[in-house]
Amino acid sequence: MGAGSSLPYRLRPNKAVDRELFLSMLMRLAPALSLEKHHYIGLGGPFLEDFRLVHARLGVARMTCIETEEEVHKRQLFNRPIASIECIHETLENYLDGHDFECPAIVWLDYTEPKAITEQIERFARTIGMVPMGSILRITLNANPESLGKPLPNDISVEVGDAASGDRALKPTVQEWRLARFKERVGQLFPSGLSPEGMTHKTYGSSILRVVKLAVEKEALNFRDRQVVWSLATHYKDGQAMVTAALVVCPADDNSIRDILDGWEFRSTPDAPHRLDMPALSTLERLTMESDDDARAKLAFSLPKSDMGEDPIDVFKKFYRIYPHFSRVEL
Amino acid sequence: MTKPTTDRAEASPTKRFFVSMLTRDINLADAILDLLDNCLDGALRLADGGDVDYAQHFVKIELTADHFSIEDNCGGIPRDVAKNYAFKMGREPDDDRDSDSETIGMYGVGMKRAIFKMGREALVRTRYGDDTFEVPITSAWLEAKGWDPLPINEPTEVNEQLAEPGTVIRVDELYDGVARHFANEAFENEVRTAIAEHFTMFLQWGLKVDLNGTPVEPVFVEVLVSDRADGPAPFVFQKTIDDVLVSITVGLNTGRSLGNDDDEDSGFERDRSSATAGWTVLCNDRAVIVGDKSRLTGWGDGIPLYHPQFAILTGIIEFRSKVADKLPVTTTKRALDTSSNVWLESLVKMKEGMRVWISYTNQWKNHPRADQSNFWEDSKPLSLGKTIAAVALRTDVKKSESQIEFNPQKAKVLPEPPGKTPSSRRIVFSRPTEELRLVSKMLFDIDDEKPGIIGEKCFELTLAKAVKQGV
């Protein structure tokens, strides 16, 4: 687990929005799927915040938290906000392999390790055939293209428009180099025709989500009793870039869940994920942006843009309702 | 003693048996590739023995939940061929089309098999020169008992015409399983990848293949060749065996530049070797097999089984002949006839080439990527044809009238690792992440140094101690 994952949420507004989107999706589906009876399985981190929220909002009673590191596991036992949360010291893979799904589940495969994305994606895809109807699956994956490795400076050339370095014919650009590594990493799941343009900070998340979609669709071909309904996909960044995709496993002949999701303003699929990329805002900035129709003129300065290249004001306008507001509390 | 009677026992095949036998042999993606093969054979016939300008040709394929279609401008079907051969199940001995061009169709089943595999209603519309006509294959015909000839209809409306000579095949009333596949994005990706790999040569020559509106890009299968006459180069062999020109090369691919230091700790479960590692087999420019890593191409048969260590190796073999049935392929055209003489004789040379590179990767196994890169700096990836042309110019190539052969190991052009000590042994072990982090922090003041480096430094420390104590 990377160092970034234990940062508190208040320093990671985009991750907080991402989680809020997921919770609001669950709330939307709760009445139709009776989510309170589902079994929630996930990785809680030392503070089990997701577990607390899922329990508070949905009333899910049966919850299992998996953790590989012993010290973190002990800390979870100490911190666990609700006594009914079962904390297990095990890898998620071993737990799932040894688990029989007796009731529908909400499984969040919250991965951070970039090197293993292929196994992670394959695991996610495989799980759609193992869970009962009405289950919800979610995956989080590292979407930083630099995780594909760094070429030696001598191994690459550069090209911008018509201008290129002298050894362009012999050496790849950094994007071409990454594409070759990506191809090695994902093997048979490689989306045919994917070009080096899909290997930039801005586009890499979408490329990974394409792989996720292909893997799941491929697996879905094996089952005639069920269909997969994509419900939420996000690409966010605070610190590390991450992508997420969530889906509902539904009976093949039942479109009621699809209809419910179609009516949800935040429904998104791996083809067009929400791009969450907002800078930290002061309280005054936030209130101005919420209350003023023409915030851009009022602010009279540009908010910083990140690698993902989204306009912060547009992103804020879309998600202001669930944008978190943190302030200091002295205990 | 018996005597003949006037009674006869019916011995002709039933249509149902025939159709189900025929379609069982082939998978859905291959059936689509068969249709693409037919388009290309059309383009070859159109050129009438001359060079084909593939950039002038297109093939458009549509896969949807309710129909399949493939459209080309590759010359169309002449009416007498349609009347006598094209819709027959199997090829007649008197069908002497293509006796002097390098087409690949030989059994005359591709189109029918593909249609029967997909659905119950089909329409083949074609224009040859200015003659346009269409042949419907209906479910009524499929279900009827006899083998009545199919009708040939002529267009009466403008929208039944074709803009240029070519053929459109449309299949409707798809079988359930087929419809599910055609609507599935992963299946589309599989077909796209298969076209990109198997028809890579034609795509590189400019053929435009559109799949559901998006052009298919070729996948390049290439090996590294150095510009210098004494620089590293692949194994090369070329000879005519049984009227078939066989060309072979084995070398390093461009995939992973010679071993990736970052992956040292990855185990077999991480192995998703690139598709082009292993053997690619071409027959008259079609890739019959791509990236084979099995016993079929010699792995594990007198040489080691395929292993991730060999992911940087690519072998390409090409068979070329004007006599289609001399080529070592089966009726599905996507599999090899491994008992043919030409294949067996070639396999010996393929393995010889592989041995060169297997021992090369063994030598370099425990050396950092950077050491090796210098030697390959001026090399570039080339296709089979260009590789042979480039290597044939070298002075140490063995050339005779009937064959060309170059063995880089014998020519001593392969780089050797610096300071190679024959007594080196490899140490492998694993420890929990928490412990690695602790040791990493102590040694390097960061908690995520690569496990390999941590292990090596630990060994160095202990070694220094051991030397000091003079044990």
Min Cα distance B217 → chain A (Å) is 6
**Structural contact between residues A207 and A199, judged by C-beta atoms closer than 8 angstroms:** yes
Tell me whether residues A193 and B274 touch, CB distance under 8 A: no
Q: Is residue B268 very low, low, confident or very high in pLDDT (cuts 50, 70, 90)? A: very low
Tokens 């577990």, located at residue: A51
A131-184 pLDDT per residue, tens? 999 999 999 999 999 999 888 777 777 887 777 777 777 678 889 889 988 988
Q: What is the ipTM of this complex?
A: 0.78
Residue whose C-alpha is closest to residue A263's, from A58, A29, A23: A29
Sketch out chain B's domains with CATH numbers: 15-215 (3.30.565.10), 223-261+270-406 (3.30.230), 433-469 (no CATH)
Q: Which residue of B has its CA nearest to A219?
A: B186
pLDDT at B257: 41
In the predicted model, is pLDDT for residue A324 greater than 70? yes
In the predicted model, is pLDDT for residue B172 greater than 90? yes
Q: Cβ contacts (< 8 Å) between A187 and chain B: which residues?
A: 272-275
In the predicted model, is pLDDT for residue A258 greater than 60? yes
B368-387 average pLDDT score: 80
pLDDT at A157: 78
Q: Is residue B256 very low, low, confident or very high in pLDDT (cuts 50, 70, 90)? A: very low
| Cα–Cα distance for residue pair A245/A111, rounded to 1 Å | 12
Q: Is residue B192 very low, low, confident or very high in pLDDT (cuts 50, 70, 90)? A: very high
In the predicted model, is pLDDT for residue A115 greater than 90? no
B258-285 average pLDDT score: 61
pLDDT at B405: 94
pLDDT at B270: 43
Sketch out chain A's domains with CATH numbers: 3-146+182-276 (3.40.50.150), 153-179 (no CATH), 283-322 (no CATH)
CA distances from A313 to A232, A268, A272, A316, B438 (A): 22, 20, 19, 5, 43
In the predicted model, is pLDDT for residue B50 greater than 90? no
Sheet of strand B244-252, all strands in order from the earlier edge strand to the far edge = B286-292, B278-283, B313-320, B244-252, B235-241, B403-406, B398-399
pLDDT at A6: 53
In the predicted model, is pLDDT for residue A237 greater than 70? yes
Tell me whether residues B186 and A187 touch, CB distance under 8 A: no
| Cα–Cα distance for residue pair A188/A178, rounded to 1 Å | 17
Tell me whether residues B434 and A69 touch, CB distance under 8 A: yes
B173-182, B324-333, B336-345, B428-437, range with greatest mean pLDDT: B173-182
Give the mutation candidate from A176, A192, A224 for the B interface (greatest B CB count, under 10 A).
A192
pLDDT at B322: 83
Question: In percent, how much of chain B has pLDDT > 70?
Answer: 88
Tell me whether residues B186 and A170 touch, CB distance under 8 A: no
Q: Is residue B343 very low, low, confident or very high in pLDDT (cuts 50, 70, 90)? A: very high
pLDDT at B266: 41
Tell me whether residues B311 and A184 touch, CB distance under 8 A: yes
In the predicted model, is pLDDT for residue A3 greater than 60? no
| Cα–Cα distance for residue pair B92/A74, rounded to 1 Å | 77
In the predicted model, is pLDDT for residue B231 greater than 80? yes
Tell me whether residues A169 and B380 touch, CB distance under 8 A: yes
Name residue A71's beta-bridge partners.
none
pLDDT at B408: 93
pLDDT at B269: 43
Report the range of poorest mean pLDDT among A109-113, B205-209, B308-312.
B308-312
pLDDT at B235: 95
B296-333 pLDDT per residue, tens? 999 998 889 988 888 889 999 999 988 878 888 876 67
Tell me whether residues A221 and B187 touch, CB distance under 8 A: yes
Tokens of A107: 């499984």
Task: Look up the pTM and report it.
Answer: 0.81
Q: Is A170 on the interface with B (CB under 8 A)?
A: yes
| Cα–Cα distance for residue pair B133/B125, rounded to 1 Å | 6
Q: Which residue of B has its CA nearest to A2?
A: B448
Question: In percent, how much of chain A has pLDDT > 70?
Answer: 96
Q: Is A215 on the interface with B (CB under 8 A)?
A: yes
Give the mutation candidate from B195, B256, B257, B371 for the A interface (greatest A CB count, under 10 A).
B257
Give the mutation candidate from A119, A184, A188 for the B interface (greatest B CB count, under 10 A).
A184
Nearest CB among A152, A169, A184 relative to B274 is that of: A184
Print burial letters for B153-190: b (CB count within 10 Å at least 16), e (below 16).
Answer: eeeeeeeeebeebbbbbbbeebbeebbbbbbbbbbbbb
Tokens of B2: 């018996």
Min Cα distance A27 → chain B (Å) is 30
Q: Which residue of B has its CA nearest to A70?
A: B434
Q: Cβ contacts (< 8 Å) between B214 and chain A: which residues?
A: 193
Nearest CB among B180, B185, B272 relative to A184 is that of: B272
Report the range of poorest mean pLDDT among B75-89, B122-136, B278-292, B413-427.
B413-427
Print burial letters for B287-318: b (CB count within 10 Å at least 16), e (below 16).
Answer: bbbbbbbeebbbbeeeeeebebebbbbbbbbb
Min Cα distance B432 → chain A (Å) is 9
Report chain B residues touching chain A, CB-CB < 8 A: 180-181, 184-187, 189-190, 192-193, 196, 214-217, 254-257, 260, 262-263, 266, 269-270, 272-275, 311, 369-370, 373, 377-380, 433-434, 447
CA distances from B447 to A67, A115, B5, B432, B441 (A): 20, 18, 94, 13, 5
A289-306 pLDDT per residue, tens? 889 888 888 888 888 877
In the predicted model, is pLDDT for residue A4 greater than 60? no
Tell me whether residues A187 and B275 touch, CB distance under 8 A: yes
